[in-house]
């Protein structure tokens, strides 16, 4: 069974204090790993898709990396507006045609000014 | 603007009542999904559809039903058989294949 574990569950940073969020996964044949940002009471907003080990993607202060067992979301010099819950999800080899994503529980980031 | 809309934003259900959540997309995506989100848990798949007039159960389909009569629409009915319906419901869509799923704004269902 595909599984995703995110750590830490919550993280508090001071503005400008860089850090990394971890997403560990077990999946039978990775087809894609996805990062989303979710603000309270809203739907997840897509950030990145990573397909193979060694791949990296960047967007503003965020950088996502992928190995065969985990992904990291690096946040450089965060600002208070980066405060949100960050979700990680994997898509494994399809079973009966499903495009199902398996999600972790999320990581709540708070950036204090 | 292309996107996914969900309505209503808040929905209240009485005991024994069926309620329907709306999901519409104008992204021309073939696949649509319904997820349930509870505090402290990851999103869980309720139902998905990859083509009009066809849909499959996800991990937690009991107490829910769906239809897919149009490519743009994928409504979810929460039936009276669902004993713990209070949650945040999210609709998503994607192209079929190894593609990203895009989410709507969500509907919060509360029980009176």
B-chain residues near A105 (CB < 8 A):
40-42
Residue B17 C-alpha, separation from nearest chain A C-alpha, in angstroms = 24
CA distance B77 to B107: 12
DSSP assigned state of A113: -
Tell me what the pLDDT averaged over chain B comes to: 93
Is the pLDDT assigned to residue A96 strictly greater than 60?
Answer: no
Give me the residues paired with residue A20 across strands. Answer: A74
Is the pLDDT assigned to residue A90 strictly greater than 80?
Answer: yes
Tell me what the pLDDT averaged over chain A comes to: 93
Q: What is the pLDDT of residue B41?
A: 87
**Confidence label for B40 from pLDDT (cuts 50, 70 and 90):** confident
Look at phi and psi of residue A60 and say left if phi exceeds 0, alpha if psi is from -120 to 50, else beta.
Answer: left
**Confidence label for B57 from pLDDT (cuts 50, 70 and 90):** very high
A10 three-state secondary structure:
strand
Instruction: Find residues 65-104 of chain A whose CB sits inside 8 Å of chain B.
Output: 87, 89, 91, 96-104
* Test the A interface: residue of B7, B31, B43 with most A CBs within 10 Å: B43
Instruction: Find residues 71-110 of chain B whose CB sits inside 8 Å of chain A.
Output: 88, 90, 94, 96-106, 108
Determine contact: A10 vs chain B, CB below 8 A: no
Q: What is the pLDDT of residue A92?
A: 86
Tell me if B98 and A96 make a contact (CB, 8 A cut-off): no
The 10s digit of each residue's pLDDT in A50-68 is 999 999 999 999 999 999 9
């Amino acid at each position: 069974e595909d599984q995703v574990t995110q750590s830490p569950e919550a993280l508090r940073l001071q503005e400008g204090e860089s850090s990394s969020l971890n997403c560990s996964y077990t999946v039978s044949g990775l087809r894609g790993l996805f990062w989303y940002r979710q603000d309270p009471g809203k739907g997840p907003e897509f950030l990145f898709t990573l397909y193979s080990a060694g791949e990296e993607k960047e967007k503003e202060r965020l950088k996502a990396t992928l190995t065969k067992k985990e992904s990291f979301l690096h946040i450089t010099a965060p600002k208070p507006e980066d405060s949100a819950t960050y979700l990680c999800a994997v898509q494994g080899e399809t079973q009966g045609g499903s495009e199902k994503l398996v999600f972790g529980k999320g990581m709540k980031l708070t950036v204090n000014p | 603007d292309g996107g996914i809309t969900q309505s209503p934003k808040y929905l209240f259900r009485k005991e024994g009542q069926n309620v329907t959540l709306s999901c519409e997309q104008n992204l021309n995506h073939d696949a649509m999904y319904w997820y349930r989100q509870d505090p402290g848990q990851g999103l869980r798949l309720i139902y998905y559809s990859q083509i009009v007039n066809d849909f499959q159960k996800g991990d937690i389909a009991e107490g829910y039903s769906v239809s897919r009569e149009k490519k743009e629409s994928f409504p979810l009915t929460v039936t009276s058989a669902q004993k713990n319906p209070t949650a945040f419901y999210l609709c998503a869509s994607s192209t079929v294949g190894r593609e990203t799923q895009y989410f709507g704004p969500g509907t919060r269902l509360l029980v009176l």
